[in-house]
Structure formats: C-alpha cells, structure tokens
A and B are shown apart, each in its own frame.
With several copies, the nearest count.
Chain A
Amino acid sequence: MSGNSTIGEAAIRAGCQCYFGYPITPQNELTEYMAAHLGRKKGCSFIQAESEIAAINMVYGASLVGARAMTSSSSPGISLKQEGISYLAACELPAVIVNMSRGGPGLGSISASQSDYFQATRGGGHGDYRTIVLAPSSGQELADLTHRAFDLADKYQIPVIILGDGMLGQMMEPVEFKHEAPEELPIRGNALRGAKGRPSRIIKTFTSKPTELEEINWSLFRRYQLIRKEETAFETFLVEDAKLIVVAFGIAARIAKGAIKNARTNGMRVGMLRPVTLWPFPSEKVKELAKRTRHFLVFEMNMGQMIEDVQLALEGKGEVSFYGRPGGVIPTPSEVLRVVSRLYHQKGLESGK
C-alpha cells in the first residue's frame, strides 16, 4: 500500500467521514483510495471537487456540522487553499489537510520536496493563525500521524496539516494500522445541526469592532501556547554524545539517519534531531541539546526554511550550518554523509571534546 493510500486508510480508521479533494500528482492515490473506500461507506462522503478551493470550503462546511473531514493536495493546490485554511483557523474548526509537497515554485516538478515549510508553519494565509503541522517520515508514521491529526484537530478545534512529500506518498512500506474504524463518532458539541431544542447558533469571525477580533486572536493565541506546551513532538537519534547534530524532518530525516549511521561507523559522533511537529517546533529541545552540542547541521530538501526555527531556538548559542537541495532533487545518504564529514572535519570535531 502506497504512502498515499496509507493516509487514506488511516483516516478512515480515525473516523474520517468526509474527504473532498482534487487530483494533483504526487498525491492522487490518496484521492483515489478515498473514492474507492470512503465514497460508498455509510454516513460518509467522497467528492472530487471542481478545484482545491471548492474542496477546502467543502471541508469547512463538513466541519461546521461536526464531521471529521479531510482534504489533500500538493504544493500549488495547497497555495490555493490558504484562504480556506485561514477561515478554518479563525472559526476554530477542526480539519485535516494533507500536503504531499512537490518541487516549486510555480508549476515546478512532481518530484518530492520540502519547500512548503514556511507556508505550513507560519500560516500561509492571511492573519495571525497557526496550524499544527505533522511531518511523518515513514509509512508507519503516515498511518500513526494521520490518526493523531484527527484527534489533535478535534481536541484543539484547529486545522492540522500533514506535511509529507511526493516520495512518502509514492513509496510502499509495511504498515500496521493500530485502530479499527469507529462505528460512530459523537458529534462535536458546538456543531451546527439545526437549532432544534436550543437557541440558534452562529459561527463567524467578521466584526465591525476590531476589539472583538482582537479577542478572537488572543483566545487563539492562548490555545496555541497550550499546544506548544502539550503537543510538541520530536525524535532524537544518538544525540547524547554528539558533537554534531543534524536537524531534519520527514523524508530528509530518514536519509540523514542513514548518513549518520555511516558516520558513526566512521567514528564521527553525529546525532539527529527530527521534529515530528514542525509547528509547534521543538525549540526547547534544541536549546537543551545546545547545552552539550555546539554544532548543528540543518538539512532540508529546500533552500533553507526550518533553519530559521533552529536559529530562533538557539539564540546564537550554537553554530548552524545548512545543506539543502531544492526543486525536487532527492539527496542520497552518501551525499549527506559527505556533507557531514566535511563539516565534522572543518570544525575540527574529531579532536577531543
């Protein structure tokens, strides 16, 4: 089962009732999986929308009435969804948005890339909002994080982005699904379901009083602080004695891990920090690691985006280098190993503490 299908199956098992999407390579298998498996499922709905914009707004509609809803696309299509995501965030509506990103900018290439990091983590749409951003790096994690995405979305009433890439979407790996699809999910208490037996309800942000909107912003902000505290997730690998820590996410982290294993066999004390949540970013962990390790290599399949979060976390208390390949080029573990070794020697890390 391809990574894309894995997301589909995991979503269904997480109780996803509605999927609205629009074809774009390299995530079509997800749309197709949902067409085959969600489309005729009782109480569920699949629509191939007329556009990405329609799709995200259908998700908005389904979320209004309390359904677990999902959409997916790849880079250009995600750009088109920015207005909709901003609306979801503003109205505090849960939703899961998958971006199996590809080479950009423009029409770019259909090859895997990580150049939508800024867009995902800093709210590519207008206004001060954030979305939780999960970055899986294996088939298994595609399944696990998809499930987590729906739970987080509901828990915090927030849109959650799964930031994958074309390679994760295409490739197949053995996967174990840990949940069965629920029989029925409870309807979110604040959903619009018709004003039966209760006062009518309004979901909106628009106001002619800026202070009202400010209050919405502050209340979102407080929730964001809570999420930062509670939900930051990461993986570390051989960081305890590391003289150099590679920071990488998603497929890049996997490639880096291969390089690090090799570096270790070559006697280099190299470790890795892999943010699993890109937002909230594991800044505290970076700070903590910087107490023992001075050198960081940020490795991304882009021109350098996550590096800003690493630098922001370090506040000058560490040296940061960068290696990146944009446009859909997939670096090899040995290429990364070469970069690691060069840096390791340049910084004179082989000698003593």
Chain B
Amino acid sequence: MLIKTIFAGFGGQGVMSMGLNLAQAAMLEGKNVTYLPSYGAEVRGGTANCTVAVSDEEIASPVASSPDFIIAMNQPSLVRFQNQIQSGGVLFINSSLIEAEISRGDIDIVRVPANSIAEKLGSPRSANMVMMGAFTKKSNIVSVSSVIEGLKSALKDKQKLIAINEKALMAGYDLL
C-alpha cells in the first residue's frame, strides 16, 4: 500500500520536521519511504510543505498530486491543498488557527487545536508534535513507538527536548 501525506504550514511551524518524523519512523519499520521538501522562490517567509510517501513496495513518484492525508497547520495551507486530497482521504486541521468551513463531503476531517493544547502543556512551540500525535493515531501508517524512537534519534541526546516533544505527541495521540 502506498500512502502519501502532505504536511503544510508557515515556515516556523515545524512542518518539515513533522514530515521527517514520519519518514524516520517508517524507515525504522523497514518500509520504503520518500521525503520531498518543497521550496521555491516564492517561499521566502511564506508557507512551507513537504510530502512523505510510505509504501511496502518501490515508490514510483515522491510527489503527491492526490495525497491520502493532508495536515494543514494554517489557513493558507488549507486553501492551497484542500482540493488535492483524494476522496476518502483525511484532512487534519489545526483548529487553533483555522476557522474555515470545509465544503468537501467526500473526505474525513480531523480538527486538532494544536496550538492551544501545546500552550496548555507549557510548550507553545510543540504544536506540531500535538498534531503529529493525532495524525499518527488516525492515519495508522506507523506505530507511535516508532515515531517516538525516530524523535529520539533525530534529537540525539537533547533529553529535555525529547521529553517535551514526547509529551506533546502523546497529548495529540490521546486526543482521538
């Protein structure tokens, strides 16, 4: 099964590390993975996004023209990507920053107040991890323990950071 996910948001929201996180976790589980950051002349301080493809087989294209999952961490990302998601796909919305109504009825929508939860946890910068937790649970692409293991290897021995991120992740995970 080939599953493609797009993570999108502002430059500072940590969407690239969410993608890397997923890729890392999938690799640990022995799957085929591609991770494709997008950037361009237009992204000076604007939105950023990345695409992760996970599969048991070889991956033909790292690009996702109709992804299975989209994580929209802010309003512009929602606007840009909501029509690309494939029927039956899941759209994750950071409801702390996004108010918009979604018109499509053929997709599943998960609203996560990522920023407010992160603030409540006392680490406002880990809103992305809150979302990552919810995404891990719902998408079921990789196990949450792989995500945590990936996190640990990415953050090497920054114990404090690992702890904070793990907490945020589990808060999101337990939300659904």
Contact = CB atoms under 8 A, between A and B. Distances in A.
Question: Do A and B interact directly, with beta carbons closer than 8 Å?
Answer: yes
A15 B90 CA distance: 47
A9 B117 CA distance: 40
Contacts of B36: 167, 170-172
Given A170-B36, A173-B34, A208 B60 contact: no
A142 B47 CA distance: 29
Interface residues of B, number: 20
B94 to A, nearest CB: 24
Contacts of A208: 40-42
B27 A110 contact: no
Interface string B57-70: 11111110100000
A257 B60 contact: yes
Interface string A236-252: 00000000000000010
Interface string A249-278: 001001111110100000000000000000
Interface in A47-105: none
Specify which of A172, A255, A259 lies most central, judged by the most chain B CB atoms within 10 Å of its CB: A172
B118 interface: no
Nearest to A260: B60
Nearest to B51: A171
A259 B60 contact: yes
Nearest to B63: A330
Contacts of B33: 172-174
Contacts of A172: 20, 23, 33-36
Nearest to B52: A172
Contacts of B23: 172
A255 B60 contact: yes
Nearest to B62: A171
A254 B61 contact: yes
Interface string B91-118: 0000000000000000000000000000
Contact of B60 (A2, A111, A173, A333): A333
Nearest to A29: B37
A330 B35 contact: no
A330 B40 contact: no
A173 B53 CA distance: 10
A332 B41 contact: no
Contacts of B34: 139, 171-173
B27 A332 contact: no
A2 B42 CA distance: 21
Contacts of A111: 40
B65 A174 contact: no
Nearest to B41: A208
A112 to B, nearest CB: 9
14 contacts: A110-B40, A170-B37, A171-B34, A172-B20, A172-B33, A173-B34, A206-B41, A254-B58, A254-B60, A254-B61, A330-B61, A330-B63, A332-B61, A332-B65
Interface of A: 2, 110-111, 139, 167, 170-174, 206, 208, 251, 254-259, 261, 330, 332-333
Given A172-B20, A258-B58, 9 more contacts: A110-B40, A171-B34, A173-B32, A173-B33, A251-B61, A254-B59, A257-B58, A258-B60, A258-B61
